[in-house]
Chain A
Amino acid sequence: MAITFKGVTYDYQAGTPMSFSALKNIDLTVPDGDYLAVIGHTGSGKSTLVQHMNALLKPTSGSVTIGEREITSQTNNKDLKPLRKEVGMVFQFPEHQLFEETVKKDIMFGPMNFGKNEVEADQLADQMIDIVGLPENTADRSPFELSGGQMRRVAIAGVLAMQPRVLILDEPTAGLDPQGRTEMMAMFNRLHQEQGLTIILVTHQMEDVANYAKHVLVMDHGEAAKYGTAEEVFTDVEWLRANNLDLPIATQFAHQLTQRGANFTTVPLTTAELAQELARQLGGKRHE
């Protein structure tokens, strides 16, 4: 399901003296099956942008097309429910939205709300408990007695149980331990690879962008400041520095070496890519 922005502007408190444009004339296409990372500083418009992708916000001007549905300032709020099922949103700290007595009931809430019967929802919940890596015996426990990392998984399972075709993730791994972070990002990537789920990831973690994203959008003061593949975006080191954005650490390391005089044919984005390039150069020399 593709998502297209055409000339989207969004004003908070429109029509008042406090009016403030959080998005300015955004044109963007997210093709079906894409993995898009949205990066930028706090307040750059990242969250406002993604909230247009399931019509939580409607553009002040311009239009957003989500699959077959076009959303404009005139769109009626009434029949947006099917859209919310197709586009799942995992907010920051989604564990704050848990409310049911048991983990299973919490995960079943979404699918039942969207018309699944209890048996179907129960099966979906079991599946999702497995997919997100929760121990089986947590199903009947209160979500509030779990650890922070497990609560996060419950909340994500609840969104996945609605079987969305697009998944929006707003800083999904903030506060998880490094191993939990790696596991969770690998889980999202599996869903992306195996089920063709379109993923939109809002993040400060450049390593995750380097490891997973097909495309990167840099937001700055409500504008789409840069768009391209991860390699295209991270190649422009000077621009990123000027805008106080971080590079993936492997890219940064390669950049330092380049300044000393080293040569890289391609820009390494991950530690593995960097090691391969270095091993090739070091190994080659050894045989000379």
Chain B
Amino acid sequence: MAEIINVKNLSYAYQEDDPKLALDNVSFSVNDGEWIAIVGHNGSGKSTLAKSLNGILVPDEGEIFINQEKLTDETVWHIRDEIGMIFQNPENQFVGSTVADDVAFGLENHQVNHDEMVRRVQTALEQVGMSDFADHEPSKLSGGQKQRVALAGVLVLEPKIIILDESTSMLDPLGRQEMLDLVADLRQQYPLTVLSITHDINEAAQADRLLVMDDGQLVTEADPRDIFEKSQQLVEMGLDVPFSSQLAMELKKLGVAVPDHYLTNQEMEAWVWQSLSKG
């Protein structure tokens, strides 16, 4: 499969004389159509990395290739069209007075004629299931709906890559899952590469590959299918320990013999119930 992102030896410091690098010799590549989760503590360099990929920050050292094209002052405008970013707080990215206006905003900078614009805005709103809200005021929507509109505003530009920068962190558990399901759905229909920066273990587990950042460095690559087993390391990765593992740890402390391998919440419930009814 073709490489869509290639990052080579990227380094960045926010201050010239700062001995602590925000990015420290980071290299990785992403194949077209992959879903990559980037995890790590606040301050580990995740957001700095995301901002480098679309040229908001210019690295001190290293090179970035997007779709085989090197990111430079000349190519940055073109490359930004290929990368859509969705942030934590959608309110910061709303500009339009209605949902449709807001989604159309990105197109206005791209000399798209009116009919084409209307068509593409409609399509994008359909893709995220927000067609009924086209005339609504963005600020009156729920958190999950706002993120859907933000996603439509990105999809309308038909990007190849979407970066989700902690974009589900303000949503409740249900809203979070809906957003992830939506992105997964879109990937069935369009060739989208997804980079999700997250602290949410379920979001991380949904990825094809997991990159772990610490102190500006890319410290390890992990298989998302293994992460639930690693409860000790999860905290170090900036992720939450799943509830079933927390309960197992508490029960062990109290002298209850719980199974050593990871159980999902449902499995844990079944195990507890079985043990309770044995007596």
Chain A residues with a Cβ under 8 A of chain B: 41-43, 92-93, 141, 145-150, 171, 174-180, 204, 246, 249-250, 253, 256-257, 260-262, 271-272, 274-276, 278-279, 281-286, 288
Q: Does B269 belong to the interface (CB within 8 Å)?
A: yes
Task: Tell me which residues across on chain A come within 8 A of B250, comparing CB atoms.
Answer: 271-272, 274-276
Contact B42 A178 (CB under 8 A): no
Stretch of B77-85, B181-189, B240-248 with 4 or more beta carbons under 8 angstroms from chain A: B240-248
Task: Tell me which residues across on chain B come within 8 A of A141, comparing CB atoms.
Answer: 15
Given the known A-B contacts A175-B166, A285-B278, are A278 and B272 also in contact in the complex, defined by CB atoms under 8 Å?
yes
Contact A260 B273 (CB under 8 A): yes
Contact B256 A278 (CB under 8 A): yes
From A178, A204, A284, contact of B199 by CB (8 A): A178
From B14, B142, B256, contact of A41 by CB (8 A): B142
Interface residues on B, range: 35 or more
A260 to B169, CA, bound (A): 33
Contact A249 B243 (CB under 8 A): yes
Least Cβ–Cβ distance between A248 and chain B, in angstroms: 10
Given the known A-B contacts A145-B15, A275-B247, are A177 and B42 also in contact in the complex, defined by CB atoms under 8 Å?
yes
Minimum CB distance partner of A271 in chain B: B246
From B235, B254, B273, B277, contact of A276 by CB (8 A): B254
Q: Does B170 belong to the interface (CB within 8 Å)?
A: yes
Contact A147 B256 (CB under 8 A): no
Contact A178 B239 (CB under 8 A): yes
Task: Tell me which residues across on chain B come within 8 A of A274, comparing CB atoms.
Answer: 247, 250
Least Cβ–Cβ distance between B91 and chain A, in angstroms: 9
From A174, A176, A282, contact of B276 by CB (8 A): A282
Task: Tell me which residues across on chain B come within 8 A of A147, comparing CB atoms.
Answer: 42-43, 47
Task: Tell me which residues across on chain A come within 8 A of B235, comparing CB atoms.
Answer: 178-179
Contact A177 B246 (CB under 8 A): no
Q: Does B172 belong to the interface (CB within 8 Å)?
A: yes
CB interface residues, B 10-30, toward A, < 8 Å: 14-15
Q: Does B275 belong to the interface (CB within 8 Å)?
A: yes
Task: Tell me which residues across on chain B come within 8 A of A177, comparing CB atoms.
Answer: 40-42, 199, 238-239
Q: Does B265 belong to the interface (CB within 8 Å)?
A: yes
